[in-house]
Amino acid sequence: MSKELKILELFAGVGGFRLGFETSDKNLFKTKWANQWEPSKKSQDAFEIYNYHFKDSQNTNKDIQEISDEEFEKMDADIIVGGFPCQDYSVARSKKGELGIEGKKGVLFWEIIRAVTQIKPQYLVLENVDRLLKSPSNQRGRDFAVMLAAFNELNYSVEWRVINAADYGRAQRRRRVFFFVYRNDSEFAISVDKDQKLDGPGIAKYDDYIFGNGLFARQFPIRAEAVKNRREEYNLPSDIVKVSDDFSGKVWNSGIMRYGQYLTIDTASTMEEPPITLGTILESEETIPSKYYITDKERLEKFKYLRGPKKIERTSSTGHKYIYSEGGMSPTDQLDLPSRTMLTSEGTLNRSTHFIEVNGRFRLLTPVESERLQDFPDNWTKYKIDKTGVVSEVSDRMRMFFMGNALVTGIVKRIADEIRKI
């Protein structure tokens, strides 16, 4: 193995992927390049937080579409990592035959494909929301199948798994799909074929890989049988447009795609690792500023209403009246369980915000507690540095937003641990 594996971090946010890899092995995993851009915003706080912590890499703050092919080609990265936006990935061809993408933000995945085309890394580790596997609603799984076909066209294989962080000892019930992508001519890919004892193309023999031998199975153990026998094999057409137009398969929470075929299985965690509870990550009450406590009756009643069951009559845009129903939830978040999924709206007055009771007093989570739920160091998002070198503090609202948008770095660390073994 080389002395270091060079990493390009795309859609870098405040550095979750980098933290996970460096926590695994800072000497082996070296992030050399990073790009972070928040569209339609003057403030680029996420980039400035990243830049505050990581001054030893080439960090750029521009629309990924403005990074030229030549710039990508100069980045001799071994690994590309990133949590990219989940949008619409259907594709079409223009009259001239070029591949195009329907949906404005759907192009962002194709920027990863463009980077891969120029750089040809050995591996990629990508992350997205788990609903990607069922998108869009009128052709479930199509978007993901298009991505698999795009990687297959570039001679890569893809292993995927939906991971709930709380199932593997972390403090948050956060479900995200992770991809491990590897080049088919890599030593790892060759060893996979050898282990599977393949005598030719065929995906049916990969059950053992998904249940025990694959990267995710080794780090995130699952039960030895499919849930409700949900298992499917699918052959992807070589034409990506045909995949987009005609896809009719299923995509479950675990799977592997090799040479244009995929096997997907609905799996369940062994649940052998007890999670961290919300109560154990809280800061000492003596240190909590008064602004996080909810004391006025109006706000307390609002939280009670938002978290309670309700049936509301609404009128659609066509004039049709219907009843909107919403089930009730616990009046406050339970401290003896891992937390619910944190969203970008965390800290605002809404149903998804964590609302806790400690010693008879009601309050919101602090930014530090939000960082702990994502396995970030305390006060990771407190400071930023602008292009002139001026350091300033980040607002609480933005700190909570960034953590709602981040990933659980402890999960990334375990993926990196397995790549280190590879």
- The whole-chain average pLDDT of the chain stands at 92
Residues annotated as part of the active site: 86
**Whole-number pLDDT of residue 106:** 52
- Distance of alpha carbon 51 from alpha carbon 384, whole angstroms: 7
Q: Which of 82, 123, 116, 120 is nearest to 421 (CA)?
A: 123
**Whole-number pLDDT of residue 205:** 75
Question: What structural domains and CATH numbers belong to the chain?
Answer: 5-273+409-421 (3.40.50.150), 278-374 (no CATH)
- Distance of alpha carbon 290 from alpha carbon 363, whole angstroms: 9
pLDDT along the chain (422 residues), means of 10: 87 98 97 93 92 96 96 97 73 49 62 97 96 88 93 97 98 97 93 67 78 94 96 93 93 96 96 96 96 96 95 88 92 97 94 96 98 98 96 97 96 98 92
User: What is the 3-state secondary structure of the chain?
Assistant: CCCCEEEEEECCCCCHHHHHHHHHHCCCEEEEEEECCCCCCCCCHHHHHHHHHCCCCEEECCCHHHCCHHHHHCCCCCEEEEECCCCCCCEEECCCCCEEECCCCCHHHHHHHHHHHHHCCCEEEEEEEHHHHHCCCCCCCHHHHHHHHHHHHCCEEEEEEEEEHHHECCCECCEEEEEEEEECCCHHHHHHHHHHCCCCCCCHHHHHHHHHHCHHHHHCCECCCCHHHCEEEEECCCCHHHHHHHCCCCCCCEEEEECCEEEEECCCECCCECCCCHHHHCCCHHHCCHHHECCCHHHHHHHHHHHCCEEEEEECCCCCEEEEEECCCCCCCCCCCCECCCCCCCCCCCCCCCEEEECCEEEECCHHHHHHHCCCCCCCCCEEECCCCCEEECCHHHHHHHHHCCCCHHHHHHHHHHHHHC
- Distance of alpha carbon 165 from alpha carbon 173, whole angstroms: 6
- Distance of alpha carbon 221 from alpha carbon 211, whole angstroms: 8
**Whole-number pLDDT of residue 155:** 96
Q: Tokens 């970030």: give the residue.
A: 376
| 225-252 burial code (b ≥16 CB/10 A, e <16) | ebeeeebbebebeeebbebbeebebbbb
Residues 403, 370 contacting (CB under 8 angstroms) = yes
pLDDT in tens, 99-135: 444 444 457 899 999 999 999 999 999 999 999 999 8
**Whole-number pLDDT of residue 62:** 95
**Whole-number pLDDT of residue 86:** 66
This prediction's pTM = 0.92
Supply 116's token pair: 């891969």
Residues 135, 142 contacting (CB under 8 angstroms) = yes
- What number of other Cβ atoms are within 10 A of residue 306's Cβ? 16
**Whole-number pLDDT of residue 112:** 95
- What number of other Cβ atoms are within 10 A of residue 311's Cβ? 8
Supply 201's token pair: 């193309």
Residue 173 burial by Cβ neighbours in a 10 Å radius (0-12, 13-18, 19+): middle
Pairing verdict, β 123-129 and 79-83: parallel
- Distance of alpha carbon 16 from alpha carbon 306, whole angstroms: 31
> How many angstroms from the chain centroid is the CA of residue 157?
19
- Distance of alpha carbon 16 from alpha carbon 30, whole angstroms: 14
> How many angstroms from the chain centroid is the CA of residue 104?
20
